[in-house]
């Protein structure tokens, strides 16, 4: 168990690619920290620098109280789990799991005890004699997890461990990692490009883009109070609806004017948005904050808009409506009972207390 501290860390690869740009992270003891972002944003490089598999160009990394910049990977007392499992094909499951301990000359009875304990946790006791090619993808990933667990490391580093699994197995393994984490009570740093994995697993989420940290917070803060347009758009499924428009003032009230519709802002937002009067802004509303007017009791003309319903997508428990205002397309996520007619205009009510505004130039959150 250990806290991990990444201070002003930059990585420039040979050839000049700045993969990680002045990143700062504080990972508490026993915390599950998820690094998330699109492909190429520098997540794996950051993780690999913590592991000691990649040299740091500048900055400092501490694991526990130890500055590890010059400590080789094998002496950092961390265990890494990779997307491709990295199992030795010619070794049995037992040999794969015990390899690290044998290398470190652990006594035989201790090796057997630790492997047994890990196989019980992971439900793979019956696989000990098999070779990796005789295992399914999910079983291989369990063996890779087992190999990490037997080391009892100070921290686990996971690099996209579920990406090679099919959708159903991925959801199942996600729950298992969650249980594992509760049981092991250790520090985890977990890299994924999948925002659902980030939201469901992380105590804290670090959203990265172009080598830089965009925001670091708990999942609900990231969802409800994104720091900028990129974070708002990356976290959440379906993605947040973003529309460009203008802030208007009429009879001492502020409105967002999209071009085809106008909606009144809630008064709590006036203070901050007054400075944007007459200016272009980006308006954001999540799909679940848009309702079919037929099912809303307190609609007012000032938060109701009209749009054409182009596609209705029933998903069983809910329905996605693909809408078009005449200027922007957007998505509403409504209850399963909603079945509007396709290719007709419909009235929609926006929950204006939940909307977001972003500065058009800086793309930072205004409110």
Greatest Cα pair distance, the chain, in angstroms, is 82
Q: Give the up-direction half-sphere exposure of residue 269: CA atoms within 13 A in the CB hemisphere.
A: 23
Q: Rounded to whole angstroms, how far apart are CA atoms 260 and 305?
A: 9
Among 5, 44, 154, 215, binds ligand ADP (CB under 6 A): 44
Q: Binding to ligand ADP by residue 41, rule CB under 6 A?
A: yes
Query: Could you check whether the bond before residue 238 is cis, i.e. omega within 30 degrees of 0?
Result: yes
Q: Which is nearer to ligand ADP, 35 or 282 (CB)?
A: 35
**Stretch of 41-49, 134-142, 259-267, 329-337 lying at the interface with ligand ADP (CB under 6 A):** 41-49
**Stretch of 12-20, 133-141, 267-275, 317-325 lying at the interface with ligand ADP (CB under 6 A):** 12-20
Q: Binding to ligand ADP by residue 334, rule CB under 6 A?
A: no
Among 26, 40, 59, 100, binds ligand ADP (CB under 6 A): 40
**Stretch of 33-41, 235-243, 308-316, 317-325 lying at the interface with ligand ADP (CB under 6 A):** 33-41
Let me know: does 246 contact 257? Beta carbons within 8 Å: yes
| Sheet architecture: strand order including 304-314 | 290-292, 344-350, 304-314, 318-324, 329-335
Among 5, 45, 215, 228, binds ligand ADP (CB under 6 A): 45
Q: Binding to ligand ADP by residue 96, rule CB under 6 A?
A: no
262-264 and 280-285 beta bridge pairing:
unpaired
Q: Which is nearer to ligand ADP, 44 or 154 (CB)?
A: 44
**Torsion angle of the four alpha carbons 95, 99, 105, 110, in this order, in degrees rounded to the nearest 10:** -60
Least spacing, CB of residue 199 vs ligand ADP, in Å: 18
Q: Rounded to whole angstroms, how far apart are CA atoms 207 and 192?
A: 10
Binding mask 47-76 for ligand ADP (x = CB under 6 A): ------------------------------
Exposure string over 298-319, b if 16+ CB within 10 A, otherwise e = ebeeebbbebebeeeeeeeeeb
Q: Which is nearer to ligand ADP, 159 or 258 (CB)?
A: 159
Least spacing, CB of residue 274 vs ligand ADP, in Å: 39
Give ∠ CA 273-277-281 in degrees, rounded to 5. Answer: 70
Q: Binding to ligand ADP by residue 161, rule CB under 6 A?
A: no
Q: Binding to ligand ADP by residue 34, rule CB under 6 A?
A: no
Q: Count of CB atoms within 10 A of residue 43's CB?
A: 27
Least spacing, CB of residue 68 vs ligand ADP, in Å: 19
Among 2, 6, 9, 19, binds ligand ADP (CB under 6 A): 19
Q: Binding to ligand ADP by residue 13, rule CB under 6 A?
A: yes
As given in the structure block, the two tokens for residue 113 are 């005890």
Enumerate binding residues for ligand ADP (CB under 6 A): 13, 15, 17, 19, 37, 39-45
């Amino acid at each position: 168990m250990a806290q991990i501290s990444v201070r002003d860390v930059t990585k420039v690869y040979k050839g000049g690619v700045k993969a990680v740009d002045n990143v700062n992270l504080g990972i508490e003891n026993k915390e599950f920290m998820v690094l998330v972002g699109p492909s190429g944003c520098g997540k794996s490089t950051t993780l690999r620098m913590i592991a000691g598999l990649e040299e740091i160009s500048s900055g400092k990394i501490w694991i526990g109280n130890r500055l590890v910049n010059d400590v080789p990977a094998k002496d950092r007392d961390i265990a890494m789990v990779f997307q491709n499992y990295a199992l030795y094909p010619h070794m049995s499951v037992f040999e794969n799991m015990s390899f690290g301990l044998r290398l470190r000359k652990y006594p035989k009875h201790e090796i057997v005890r630790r492997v047994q304990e890990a196989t019980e946790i992971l439900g793979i006791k019956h696989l000990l004699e098999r070779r990796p090619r005789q295992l399914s993808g999910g079983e291989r990933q369990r063996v890779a997890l087992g190999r990490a667990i037997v080391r009892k490391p100070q921290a686990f580093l996971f690099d996209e461990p579920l990406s090679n699994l099919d959708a159903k197995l991925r959801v199942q393994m996600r729950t298992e990692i969650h249980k594992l984490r509760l049981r092991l009570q250790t520090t985890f740093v977990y890299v994924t490009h999948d925002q659902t994995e980030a939201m469901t697993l992380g105590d804290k989420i670090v959203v990265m883009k172009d080598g830089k940290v965009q925001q670091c917070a708990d999942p609900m803060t990231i969802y409800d109070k994104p720091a900028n347009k990129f974070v708002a758009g990356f976290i959440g499924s379906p993605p947040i609806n973003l529309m460009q428009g203008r802030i208007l003032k009429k009879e001492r009230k502020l409105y967002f004017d999209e071009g085809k519709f106008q909606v009144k802002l809630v008064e709590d937002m006036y203070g901050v948005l007054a400075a944007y009067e007459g200016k272009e802004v980006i308006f954001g509303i999540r799909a679940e904050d848009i309702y079919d007017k037929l099912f809303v009791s307190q609609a007012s003309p000032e938060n109701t808009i009209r749009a054409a319903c182009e596609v209705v997508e029933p998903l069983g428990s809910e329905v996605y409506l693909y809408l078009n205002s005449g200027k922007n397309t957007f998505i509403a996520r409504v209850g399963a009972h909603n079945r509007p007619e396709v290719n007709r205009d419909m009235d929609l009510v926006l929950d204006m207390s939940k909307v977001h505004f972003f500065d058009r130039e800086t793309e930072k959150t205004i409110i």
